[in-house]
Amino acid sequence: MEQVAYDDQEPTRALSTEIVEGTSGEYDSTDYSVPYVSLVQANSDASIQRTAQPGQFLSTDGETFDSVNMIPLHIRFVRDFYDKQNRKAICGSTDRVTGHPRDLLYFKTAGNLNVDEGISLACKDCPFYEWAPSAKAACQKGYVVTCYDLDRNQPFMFRVRGTAVRPFKDRFVGAVAMGRAKPWARSFEMTTKLTQSQGNSWYVPVLQPTKGLDKEEMAGWAAYAAGIVPPSHAETVDADDLPFE
């Protein structure tokens, strides 16, 4: 069973100094960090505290908005093991290969596995790799997508999990994963819609293509995307980012 030590470091969020057509100027890592954007649900802290409305997008810089005009830049294939009932992260992986356990007691009691603090675990060796202890606690596949917000002239990251996976996979992630397209092949408008099932309701993102980019535009965005360092494995898991299923 493979266990690898890792450093608990903050995410590196450096930006390129390339000047890219379609952006508002020249940026470097001293200008800003890349914020996370989440979709607010009815039970989100932001909704309960009335700082944002269900169905809105909320950025970690405090801004709320109803839609996002964006160009995808990076896709990271991740796994998240989360206890929804207790709103607690159990483990997470930023590559679906190596997991970084957080709740060591849970691994011992529910998985009969002793994991040392600060030690990583190969996902294929994890007792929860192919089965879930309960409907509220499961290790699920998802994405972290880095995009450029064309309205606000800045990049952002968006966590894609649960029922949000399908719209992203259908619109561009599947084509990129198969090598048929680049993430920045077209721009999208991201909005939300309310979905209901078995007495529950939640919002899911809706992606609508707005423009196909030509070769020159794609080359510019490729250069810009190359300057953004993806987030590290130490990124924080926020309960508000996890949609109902």
Classify burial at 10, counting beta carbons within 10 Å of its beta carbon; exposed 0-12, middle 13-18, buried 19 or more: exposed
Question: Cα(75)–Cα(141) distance, rounded to whole angstroms?
Answer: 13
Question: Cα(136)–Cα(200) distance, rounded to whole angstroms?
Answer: 14
The pLDDT of residue 218 is 97
Strand ranges (DSSP E) for 84-185? 88-93, 98-99, 119-122, 137-149, 154-160
Amino acid at the residue 4:
V
pLDDT confidence bin for 108, thresholds 50/70/90: very high
Q: Is pLDDT above 90 for 162?
A: no
Residue 149, Cα to own-chain centre: how many angstroms? 15
Amino acid at the residue 210:
T
Q: Whose CA is closest to 211, among 194, 241, 188, 179?
A: 188
| Contact (CB, 8 A) for 90 and 140 | no
Q: Between 30 and 203, name the one with better pLDDT.
A: 203
pLDDT tens for each residue of 204-214: 999 999 999 99
Q: What are phi and psi of 236, to 5 degrees?
A: -80, 140
pTM: predicted TM-score of the whole model, two decimal places: 0.75
Classify burial at 87, counting beta carbons within 10 Å of its beta carbon; exposed 0-12, middle 13-18, buried 19 or more: middle
pLDDT confidence bin for 234, thresholds 50/70/90: very low
The pLDDT of residue 106 is 93
Q: Whose CA is closest to 85, among 136, 25, 146, 31?
A: 136
Residue 101 makes CB contacts below 8 A (sequence gap 6+) with 90, 91, 107, 115, 119, 120, 121
Q: Which two tokens stand for residue 102?
A: 């957080």
Q: Is pLDDT above 50 for 244?
A: no
Counting every residue, how long is the chain? Answer: 245
- Every domain of the chain and the residues it spans: 3-230
- Cα torsion 152, 153, 154, 156: sign: positive
